[in-house]
Structure 1
């Protein structure tokens, strides 16, 4: 499922500091690619204007150079790539290993990968089948189809259209997203939908905010409307009609498919990981071969043949939602990913170990699918799949870059209007995981030459990009096709996004009171003050013992001295506890299914006592310092300590570290 893990990990690094680095074994070099079945007939060459011939020989030559090097460089064990064109499989090939220890090569038609959120496309197709049959209505309140209630937001209900365009307005949901239990997910789909309804944070239809829960809810509605389990429905109405015999949403996998399942890896040079059990199964539990995914692509490219009526497929592909024009939009379940003047729709997918993408060029009758079985070194899978898509498009569907440009003075003014701090619409806003937002806010600025500086939107090697304003509040990568655009209201930039994420994610301005530009330095300074206060207790004791000096406090002052240091230690430990909880949980999503609840309960019980107590004790200490006979340093420090305690309490309140419950 499309991963926010990297964002969370980067945010936590701000608090955790540099990590120790260990050297592992050298990356595994992928074996020679397995050859696609000879039964696949070659397609006649087709040469788009200025492009290379889109035939099997050319595609194979290019990919045989691209994939092995990219995988070896990124420490990725194995992958598969499929290209379809004009109603047939043009090319399919496995690269590297499905099992490194056994040196088992990847096969395009006999190795199962986990395409993650690409699974959603099958779920959306199932929804549209039932819309065709009149059993579902895209614009009806989903509560019509449920045996529990999704609360309205400002009186507005959620519809299936909202769900399919990721504008249902749900907060991000991480609870039970993954588990390693070989028996299956910890909760049934019905239990998960009923017991973990996320909070509503946006009015429906207004804000793209990717939601695995919402997609799983659509799968549950498919089950209720059809009278079958979700797995049975998918088997009988999606997989069987397309002869996708080596694919399944079932968890654990059916016995006949288990031997074909690729291992998953963090690094190709590391140990294999357990099979991931996806909690919201309709959102990401599919396992499939590359050849089976080709069949699914061909069906959609051929006007839904075998799955949908042509008019329904067209509705699914072309009904789009404009939020920030002219950026890529969300269709009914598909992301728009247009490039080089060609219309592209698709969907990405990530589990912890498998990373995939499916792209369709409907007007060109071409499809591209890739999946790899390793997270890779330093997030290597992201640049790999981005590079695969852009290089494929540039090679076979090239187009000259536009030379349009806004004048320098206007561009500078617009860049200055963009400058500020923003938060991601796909995130946690009402649970304790919103603490990640403090470290993960995105900043835009202005370069010395007056151009836009967007450090969060980097290139494939994490290098800064040069942005050229090509139209009012629309910027393009000077050396590529990626665009940034903003929405302006009353002369103010209120939100922006960029092409890669605009179908399902926006960046909105952060209110001043939670703006990390000042709050993060203030929070870190507050923690330093409180930590130094805590350290004076053992340090003072050692000094007094060495020099045989007495503590210069008695009565109320002595009590305040001890309580101040005690609460300072407690504050530091609770903050460290929260950072530890989040860093451990974000490193392994399976821990979000309850394994860390004991620590969560402890932190939730201690947080209000410690954070409010720290402010109260610091205020008492300040009063004693200023009404007693203390020196200027003691008085000044008492002021700093109270300010620090208030800042820590504010962060705890603003980012929901004070609260109870395990809905997150």
Structure 2
């Protein structure tokens, strides 16, 4: 087994590491953004990493967990591994490229609405512990919702319904679309584009909000994942900022970070990047989904949502995750106060066996004691670490203690969401595990 001491003590505390018999500085200045470095420059065994990751990914492609994928890892502010594997589809025509755009699915939750909510908490425009109905007025009239707090919502401790299939509202029993909600071209009152030739009624979002507002709340206040409020967060953010959700994110976060590819509905934008397809949709779009959000609920909002819909490259995702890891700063600019970041990444209700932070996912409560096959994520990930997974086969994780950012991107839903080998093979945790195990011997061990 690789030197575990490196991870638990040396990587976090020691300013230098041994590389081929000499000390190597590993710190990256907070005034610069992510830079590139060889794994050995941060004390990691490059040959071991490449051999292990290549094997895991090749096995995943062989077992059709995904047609292709890419992995990016940053350590101490340096990108020390970024590699693409396989193809966009199983016909092996188009190789995965490092600058490809991916549908991030639920990773959207922590990369779009969440930074905005954190900034609004910083500014005193949101309070985690007052009733959410203070800000979302329709809940004032709902007896079962009027006292729920934003903290409970973001920690998935509020008893909200996990998911509502809004697509059922626009599709008839015979499978045809209801034309009062969907048109085949842009028309007055139908400007929200869900796909080529699919335009949703502008006011359909209000129907979605009403259904969410009237949805049931469980009396059992235990951990139950729910993405419902992430559908209404964009509207709330607009109400509190007086700016459009997209423009606010671009101005306050993505552009200053230099994360130019992060955004919604890339099919209608002039980006030079190739967009990785997701599922061959046989129900709604009746074709291969590419450049438009895979999630149907986000699609019915015109692709701009808080639950899903964000696209981006691994490099740009890494910049945002590095900002989180550095408690709100990146390249010398502060985006969110460190106190707010630390509060959001903290496990909120461990006494209720709820591992979650505020919006962020966290390791299983006893993760460090589990074998890799049962752990989530890798068992070596510190208790301070945080991230999120996405339905399309995406995963992002940041570990402040070990100064590691891990990005995994794939389209495991191609050609169908029934493909679950990404999970059964435990690929994402297995890859992360390699980087914790990849330490070179320290100089005094030689």
TM-score by length of structure 2 reads: 0.68
Residue 137 of structure 1 aligns with which residue? 127
Q: Partner of 1:92: helix, strand, or coil?
A: strand
Residue 336 of structure 1 aligns with which residue? 362
Contact 1:168/1:214 (CA < 8 Å) preserved in 2? Answer: no
Residue 372 of structure 1 aligns with which residue? 410
Q: Distance in 1 between matches of 2:126 and 2:78?
A: 32
Contact 2:75/2:405 (CA < 8 Å) preserved in 1? Answer: yes
Q: 1:389 aligns with which of 412, 416, 429?
A: 429
Q: 1:322 aligns with which of 332, 339, 350?
A: 350
Q: Distance in 2 between matches of 1:348 and 1:75?
A: 15
**Residue correspondence of structure 1 range 109-508 to structure 2 within 5 A:** 110-122=99-111, 123-149=113-139, 151-154=141-144, 157-176=147-166, 181-182=195-196, 183=198, 190-197=205-212, 198-203=214-219, 206-248=221-263, 250-251=264-265, 253-257=267-271, 260-265=274-279, 272-273=288-289, 275-276=292-293, 278=295, 279-280=297-298, 281-305=305-329, 306-325=334-353, 329-337=355-363, 338-339=367-368, 340=379, 342-343=382-383, 344-350=385-391, 354-375=392-413, 378-384=419-425, 386-390=426-430, 392-393=432-433, 396-397=436-437
Q: Distance in 2 between matches of 1:284 and 1:192?
A: 19
Greater radius of gyration (CA): 1
Question: Shift in Å at residue 394 of structure 1?
Answer: 6.0
Flag structure 2 segments of 5+ consecutive residues without an equivalent.
Answer: 1-34, 171-193, 282-286, 299-304, 369-378, 439-446
Deviations 1:108-160 (A, max 9, x none): 2x211112111100221210111101111111222222353365455752221
Q: CA RMSD in A?
A: 3.0
Question: Shift in Å at residue 227 of structure 1?
Answer: 0.9
Q: Distance in 1 between matches of 2:338 and 2:204?
A: 31
Name the one with the larger helix percent.
Answer: 1
Segments ≥4 residues shifted beyond 6 Å:
none
Over 3 Å counting, the alpha-carbon distance change for 1:319 and 1:276 in structure 2 is closer
Greater RCO structure (CA 8 Å; 6+ sep): 2
Q: Distance in 2 between matches of 1:346 and 1:72?
A: 27
Deviations 1:278-333 (A, max 9, x none): 434211111111111111121111112143122221111125222444xx611111
Residue 183 of structure 2 aligns with which residue? none
Q: Partner of 1:157: helix, strand, or coil?
A: coil
Over 3 Å counting, the alpha-carbon distance change for 1:155 and 1:83 in structure 2 is closer
Over 3 Å counting, the alpha-carbon distance change for 1:144 and 1:155 in structure 2 is closer
Question: Shift in Å at residue 273 of structure 1?
Answer: 3.6
Contact 2:71/2:408 (CA < 8 Å) preserved in 1? Answer: yes
1:98 aligns with 2:88: yes
Q: Distance in 1 between matches of 2:150 and 2:204?
A: 18
TM-score by length of structure 1 reads: 0.47
Over 3 Å counting, the alpha-carbon distance change for 1:345 and 1:79 in structure 2 is same
Q: 1:42 aligns with which of 38, 42, 52?
A: 38
Q: Distance in 2 between matches of 1:184 and 1:290?
A: 30
Contact 1:148/1:194 (CA < 8 Å) preserved in 2? Answer: no
Q: Distance in 1 between matches of 2:126 and 2:341?
A: 16
Q: Distance in 2 between matches of 1:263 and 1:208?
A: 33
Flag structure 1 segments of 5+ consecutive residues without an equivalent.
Answer: 1-38, 48-52, 399-664
Question: Shift in Å at residue 76 of structure 1?
Answer: 2.1
Question: Shift in Å at residue 189 of structure 1?
Answer: 8.1
Q: Distance in 2 between matches of 1:81 and 1:189?
A: 38
Q: Distance in 1 between matches of 2:65 and 2:77?
A: 34
Contact 1:82/1:370 (CA < 8 Å) preserved in 2? Answer: yes
Over 3 Å counting, the alpha-carbon distance change for 1:258 and 1:194 in structure 2 is farther
Over 3 Å counting, the alpha-carbon distance change for 1:265 and 1:215 in structure 2 is closer
Q: Distance in 2 between matches of 1:94 and 1:44?
A: 20
Question: Shift in Å at residue 276 of structure 1?
Answer: 3.4
Q: Distance in 1 between matches of 2:245 and 2:224?
A: 24
Contact 2:133/2:146 (CA < 8 Å) preserved in 1? Answer: no
| Pairs aligned (count) | 342
Contact 2:60/2:427 (CA < 8 Å) preserved in 1? Answer: no
